[in-house]
Structure 1
Amino acid sequence: MILSTTKELRLHIPSNAIDEISSLQGILDNSEKDFLRDKLGDSLYNRLCEYYQTVSPDDFYMAVCNGENTQHPWMQLLLMAQRMVTYDAMSRFVYTQALSINGTGINVASSDDYGTASKDLLDKGVQGYKREAMVSLNQMLVMLEGWAKKMATPAPIADADTIEQPTEPKDEEHKAIEEISLLWQESQYYYLHHDLLIATCADLQHYLDIYESREKFIRLLPDLHFIQDEYISEAIGEDTVQRLLHTDDPADKPLLRKVRRLMVAHLEERTTILTIDKARRAAAHNEAISLRSSVLRLMEMRKAADVANATPDKPSTNTTDSTSKGYENNQPDSKIFVSPLLY
C-alpha cells in the first residue's frame, strides 16, 4: 500500500470527512493493483511500496505541505501515484458507498450533518473523479518521461584540460532518478518504443492531436504495430523499415516523415480508440492511398540517385596514351615478335 492515513487522503481530496482510512483500504488497494501497477511496471511499483515503508506518513505529509518533496524524486513519484489512486478509488467508491447493506435489505445511506446528494450530482462527481484520475496519470507519465530523457541524454565531452579531473560523484537526487528510470523501462508504459517508427507520444502528437495523452498513446500501440507490420513493411520492405528505425542520416528524414504520415492516415482509418467520424475515416483512406504512392515515388527517386552516384565514369575511347599502341617489336631485350592484326 502507498496510502495509509486520512492526512494523505486530504492532500488530494480536501473535502473528505472520512474518520478511518480502513474503510477505504479495499478500494484503495484495488485501484493500486488495477490502475497504478501496470503504469509503473511490477519492479517500480514494488520498489515504491518499499520506499513508502521507510518514510513516516506524517513526515511525508509535512514535506508536501512545505514543498520539500520537490527535492526528493521518490517523494514526487509517491505523491503523483497517491493522487492517481485516490481519484480512481473515489470514482469506484461513490456509488457503492451511497448504499447501506443490512440484514434485511439495502438502503440509501444518509447523514444528519449533510444533505443527501442527488443522482445528477453523484454522476457529475464520479465523472469528475475519473477525469482527474486520467489527468493525474498523464502528469505522472510526463514526469517519468522527463526523467528518462534526462538519463538518456549523453553528458558533454570533457575538454583536454579537464579530462584528468576526477568525475564528481552522483548526488542522491540523480541516483534516485536513475533508479526510477531504469525500473520504469520494464513497464509497457515506458515512453520510448524502439521497434516503432512512431516511437513516442510526442512523435505521434506532431502528426495527430491526441492532447499529448500518454495513456491514449499506449492504447494505440496495438494499432500502430499492426499498421507497421502489415501495411508499411509490405509497402517499403522490412529492410527499409529497419534502416529508418536506426538511421541518423538527415537524408532519411523526408522519407521518415512521409512514412509516419502514412501510418497516421491508416491509424485514423482503422482505430476505435480515437473518436473519428465517418467522413474523416473516408478522407484518411484516400490520404493513405496518395501517401503510399508518394512514399514509393520518393524511394524510386532516391534509388535512382544512389545508382547514379555509385556508377563509375566510363573510360574515354579517344585515348592518346602510349599504352593504346599495344606491344612494339624490336625493343631492347625483346625476344619475341608480334604480328600486326589483320583486320
Structure 2
Amino acid sequence: MAATSKLIFLLIQGIVLLSVLDCANAQGLKVGFYAKSCPEAEAIVKKVIAQTLSVAPSLGGPLLRMHFHDCFVRGCDGSVLLNSSSNQAEKDAIPNLSLRGYGVIDRVKSALEKACPGVVSCSDILAVVARDVVVADMGVHWDVETGRRDGNVSNMIDALRNLPAPSSNISSLKSSFASKGLSAKDLVVLSGSHTIGTSHCSSFTNRLYNFTGKNVNDTDPTLDSNYIAKLKMKCKPNDQTTLVEMDPGSFKTFDGSYYTLVAKRRGLFQSDAALLDDSETKAYVTSHAVPKGEASFLKDFGVSMVNMGRIGVLTGNAGEIRKVCSKIN
C-alpha cells in the first residue's frame, strides 16, 4: 500500500511538472526550432549580418531597435516590416520613421529562402538578427528561441499607441512594459540597448530649448549642464536631420557604459533620465555602471531579450511564413 501511495505521489508530481513545462512552452517557442527543417538558418543569418556590419557598422543599433519596435506592437510577428497598402502600416508611424536596415532583413530572408524555402519566418529573423548585431558589436551571446510565425496586419495607429516615447516618464514606461508582461528590471536592462546607435536631434531637443514652454533658454534640469552645452553645439532648434551618438565614444560597442552616463545625468533621452526616478531602476543603473556591473548587465540583457521575444507570438498554425518580409503572401 505504501509503495502504491508513493507511486501515485510520483505520478502526480510528474503531471504537475509536465503542466508547468506545458505552460512554459505554451507559446511554441524553443531554442533550435529549425534544427531539422533548416539546420543552417542561424549560420546564414550570422553570415549576412557579419558582411553587413563590416561595411555599415552603424546599422547595428537600428537593427536591434527594429526587433523591439516589432515586439511592442501586436507582438513579435514581423508586422513592422510590412509595407503600407490599403492602410498606413507601422513603419510609417513617426516613431518608426528613423528605423533603418529593412534591406538587410530582405537580404537575410532571400538567403534563407534560397536554402530553405518557406521555412523561416520574418519575425524569427528579427529576433536572431538582434542577437547577432549585439554579438558583432562585442556584446553578449544568448540562445534565441524561435518558432514564431508572421502576422498579416500592420497599422500605423497601433505603433503610435504602443511604442514608448523618448520623452516618457518612469510611470508610463513601467506601465508600458508591464502591459507586455515585462518587469521593471526588463525595462532598465533593455534600456541598456542605447549603448549602441545614434539618434536624431529631434528626439531630445525639447530638453535643450524651451523645456518648460515658457522661455526658449529653459533646459531640462535633470540633464547635466555641461552635456547640454555640447549637445547644443550639434543640435540647433528644429534640427530634424543631425545624428548624435547615444553613448558618446562607445556607440559601436555593446557595453555597460550607458549606465555610467545615466548615473552622471547624461542619458540622451528623458526616458533614460527617468530610470533614476524609481528605486529599483535607479539601483540597477548605479550598480551596473562600468566596469563593476558590466558582466551581470550583459547576462541580464540576454535574459530580458528572450522575455521580450515572447510577447504576443504567433505559433503553430497561426499567422504565416512570409515569402517576402515586406508583404503578406
Task: Please state which band the TM-score falls in when normalised by the shorter chain.
Answer: under 0.3
What is the TM-score of this pair, normalised by structure 2?
0.21
Calculate the TM-score normalised by the size of structure 1.
Answer: 0.20
Q: Which has the higher contact order (CA 8 A, sep 6+)?
A: 2
The structure richer in helix per residue is 1
Greater Rg over alpha carbons, structure? 1
